[in-house]
Structure formats: C-alpha cells, structure tokens
Homo-oligomer: A and B are copies of this chain.
Amino acid sequence: MSLDYEVYNLGDVKLQRGATLRDCKLAYKTFGTLSPNKDNVIIYPTWYSGQHYDNEWLVGDGRALDPKKYFIIIPNMLGNGLSSSPSNTPEPYNGPRFPQVTACDNVRAQHRLVTEKFGIEHIRLVTGWSMGALQTFHWGALYPGMMDLIAPFCGSAKCSRHNFVFLEGVKAALTADAAWKEGWYTEKPQRGLRAAARVYAGWGFSQAFYRQKLDIEALGYSSLEDFLVAFWEGFFLPKDPNNLLTMLWTWQNGDIGDNELYNGDFEAALGAIKARAYVMPGQTDLYFPPEDSEFEVAHMPNAKFVPVPSVWGHFAGGPGTNPKDVEFIDAKLKELLAS
C-alpha cells in the first residue's frame, strides 16, 4: 500500500504518566523542501481527532505556509488513528488499555522526529489550531531556544476548568451508550458517538453563528437538523471511540507547566516562552475564550494578542471552514513570518 504520509519509528517511548509505548509510531506529512542550511522549517501539529489531511487547508502556494518557501512538517497527534493510537496499537496496549498520553509526550515525540530524522536544530515557526495550539504552546515552553515564532490559534496553553467540564459532557455522552462496553466495544457505539456529536455542536459554533443561520446560509445545510446529522454526526461516526477518548484525555490534561521543567508552575512556563508569538483566539470561541488568551499573553515576554474577529466560534480557526477567517489567519501568519 502506498501511503501519502511517512511514519517515524520512535521505538519504546516512556510516557510522562508512567507507561511505555512500545514500538511507538509517529505519522507525519511534509510539504516543500528542507533548505540546505535547514532554516525554513515550520511545524504544524494536528487537532482533536484531526489528521494531517485536515490541516492542509492552511498550506499552499501563496499562503503563509507556502511549500515553495518552507519545509512544513505536520505531525499527527498520538491517538489520532495514524500515529500510535488505541485503534492501531497491538496487544496488550490496544483499545481501552492504550496509555495516557500528554501533550508534552506528543511534543517530545515530535521533537525527536524533527531532530533525529531531519537533523533540524532550528525552527522558524510552530503553529496550530485548537489542540494544535496546545502543542504549539508546548513547543514554545519545552524548547524555548529552538524556534523564532509561534502562532497558536483558537487554543490554550492549559486546559481551563470550564473547557475540562465541556469535555466531560462530550465524554459522558459517548460513554453513556451501553454499546461502548467500557471501551471493549465489538461494534460502533452509534448512539454514543451521535450524542457526543450533538453535545459538541452547541460548543463548536457561537450563539451568533446559529442566530445568523450560517449553518444554512453559509455552509449550505438544508436545515438545523440536517446540520446536526450531516455535519456533526457525520464528523464523529467514522472516528474510533477509544481514539477520541485518548485525545480527550490529552486535551483535558494539557498544561505546559505540568512537567519537570516547570513543576506545575504555569506562569513560569508561559514566561519561559522566548519565541515571538501571535496568540490568536477566536473572538466568539466558547471553550477557548479570548480572556484565557489574554492571560497567557500577559505572562509571555514576547507575545501579542491577536483575536480573530469572527462569529464562527471555535471554527474561526479551522479547518478552513470560513474563508474570511482563513484569510485573516493567513495574513497574520504572513505578518509574523515577515518579522
């Protein structure tokens, strides 16, 4: 089989919470060519349940992330079904036994890919949407001298308590389905996946988005129910439930300060991010509200608060859903890369 992506074998990876992920695989895709002096590197991690395909909307000729100029690496998050995940890991760490993986584990694995596989020592930019932003912040805090720029958008450096609660709702809906069988499902827990999708639907887009009927007027669905079934349920149903729960745990436990460098000191971790940063929350994002980004920016030495003016809620940041927001983010990334 010919894949459109590569896999880097990390061997046995000891995870932050104690387990060892043996024969750990990191799937990634690259765009463009690494320059001879390796100074044109952009890292662009994936988001909750997204795969590298789902990141490609921001990459292209004439875009900030232009493969003619940059060597862009999209590493797939552990648990996303392409990198090591509950769905593709052999026994005994398969399915619901897949270990707890932190964003820190993810970024350390990505750092090995970047340094060991490509011999890259310096990165121009790290950027990402949502959990991609979480990983971006981790890059900034774990390897502060390594990159010039970071641009996390619609995400945070630490899962807020409210965001944690929102995710509890998604998880509870998915796992209320008896077909889930505590993760030992033999067939897809349809009701649970669809319930999780419906829970997510209210959070993903803003009140104003729904008020303006952009599900119909902009996205072309035929009714609100059509949007809930075709967009939301359709989005969740193909995903593996244990993969979703693994990434959800990663999200809920995301915190750039939760490692031996910062010992839980979140503000110290923010303060250690040397990179010039554009922190770009969606102005109407319900689970990454701009207030949390403002706090982060206030504690980062070299960061600018750049909210995305949009009623598209969390989807102001991706995955290419609203052309105007894409233009805004692309323009800001160009501005940052030109600096």
Residues of chain A touching chain B, judged by Cβ–Cβ distance below 8 Å, are: 160-162, 164-166, 168-169, 171-179, 191-192, 194-195, 197-203, 205-211, 213, 224, 228, 286-287, 289, 291-292
Are B224 and A165 within 8 A (Cβ)? Answer: yes
Q: How far is the CA of A198 from the CA of B171 in the complex (A)?
A: 9
Chain A contact surface mostly: helix
Chain B residue at minimal CB-CB distance from A189: B176
Q: How far is the CA of A173 from the CA of B196 in the complex (A)?
A: 7
Beyond the given A162-B206, A174-B176, A177-B178, could you list 5 further A-B residue pairs with CB under 8 A, ordered by the A residue number? A165-B198, A165-B224, A169-B201, A173-B176, A176-B194
Q: How far is the CB of A147 from chain B (nearest CB, A)?
A: 29
Are B169 and A172 within 8 A (Cβ)? Answer: no
For this chain, the copies found in one complex come to 2
10 A/B residue pairs, CB under 8 Å, sorted by A: A161-B211, A162-B205, A166-B202, A171-B198, A172-B195, A172-B198, A173-B199, A175-B195, A178-B179, A207-B292
- Known contacts A166-B202, A168-B198, A202-B165: does B211 contact A160 (CB below 8 Å)? yes
Q: How far is the CA of A21 from the CA of B206 in the complex (A)?
A: 38
- In the complex, which of the residues B161, B168, B169, B202 contacts A162, with contact meaning CB atoms closer than 8 Å? B202
Q: How far is the CA of A172 from the CA of B166 in the complex (A)?
A: 15
Are A207 and B291 within 8 A (Cβ)? Answer: yes
Q: Which 9 A-B pairs have the closest CB atoms?
A: A169-B199, A172-B195, A162-B210, A178-B178, A176-B195, A173-B173, A172-B198, A166-B202, A161-B210
Are A289 and B207 within 8 A (Cβ)? Answer: yes
Q: How far is the CA of A336 from the CA of B201 in the complex (A)?
A: 38
Chain B residue at minimal CB-CB distance from A225: B168
Are A201 and B291 within 8 A (Cβ)? Answer: no
Q: How far is the CA of A171 from the CA of B271 in the complex (A)?
A: 43
Q: How far is the CA of A194 from the CA of B175 in the complex (A)?
A: 11
Greatest chain B CB density within 10 A among A191, A197, A205 is at: A191
Are A201 and B161 within 8 A (Cβ)? Answer: no
- Known contacts A224-B165, A228-B165, A291-B207: does B199 contact A172 (CB below 8 Å)? yes
Are B228 and A168 within 8 A (Cβ)? Answer: yes
Chain B residue at minimal CB-CB distance from A212: B161
Tell me which residues across on chain B come within 8 A of A289, comparing CB atoms: 207
Are B169 and A198 within 8 A (Cβ)? Answer: yes
- Known contacts A177-B176, A195-B176, A207-B291: does B169 contact A224 (CB below 8 Å)? no
Q: How far is the CB of A145 from chain B (nearest CB, A)?
A: 31
Q: How far is the CB of A217 from chain B (nearest CB, A)?
A: 12
Tell me which residues across on chain B come within 8 A of A192, comparing CB atoms: 176
